[in-house]
Amino acid sequence: METVTTPPARPIRVLLVDDQTLVRMGFRMVLDAQDGVEVVGEAADGRAGIDMCRTLSPDVVLMDVRMPDTDGIAATELIAQDCPQSRVIVLTTFDLDEFAFAALRAGASGFLLKDVGPAELLASIRAVAGGDAAISSRVSRRMLDLFSQRLPSGPSSGDDEAVAALTPRELEIFSAIAGGLTNTEIGARMFVTESTVKTHVGRILMKLGLRDRVHAVIFAYEHGLTGDRRPG
């Protein structure tokens, strides 16, 4: 009987963008020690990061949010437009960072502190590379607190129609996503399997035209759909 050998999975290709050499070295040391992850390049500013992203097509970009010249917000926005296959995780020193939240709104799929531990860093990279997002309920809560006084008063008619297309179960899951719950937590709450939740999440994102869970959270906050926000 002939043995069928499964080829190894392609490593997750990561681009590091940070103006501090020591920070890039630290992340590279951590990632080079991991199986299934490959650092394909380093850039010292946002403009170089954009150019390298177009050339290298990384799966994940670790993006410092505060850099001179082209900062992480502008770079993230251009990468989201020009390199849709690349997902951005923004990096910041402070967990309440208006620049980092602006980068999330610009198209980033995750938010990490620079002192993140190796296990959380790797889990976040794998989640984002797999089409999920790296955002905790704590960050979701802070996002609402930061933007609650500046968000629009309500959804547009087009958004109304998109939300109306969601089934009652999808609306329930959408609310849970906005609260920062993971698929596992949603499944436990609703007594369904994690794969069922994942299917619902995919349908919700498709119906609303959203990139990932981060942007589902932002959409919910911007349109007063969390149950937490009072229209101003």
Residue ranges per domain, the chain?
A: 12-134, 147-222
- As a whole number, the mean pLDDT across the chain is 83
Pairing state between β 37-43 and 12-17? parallel
Q: Is the pLDDT of residue 184 over 50?
A: yes
Token code pair at residue 39:
């650092």
Mean pLDDT of 58-77: 92
Q: Determine the Cα angle at 168 with ends 165 and 170, to 5°.
A: 70
Q: What is the pLDDT of residue 31?
A: 95
Contact 130, 60 (CB under 8 A): no
Q: What is the pLDDT of residue 104?
A: 80
Q: Determine the Cα angle at 86 with ends 7 and 15, to 5°.
A: 85
Class of domain 12-134: alpha beta
Q: Is the pLDDT of residue 231 over 60?
A: no
- Domain 12-134 shares a fold with domain 147-222: no
CATH architecture of 147-222: Orthogonal Bundle (1.10)
The pTM assigned to this predicted structure is: 0.74
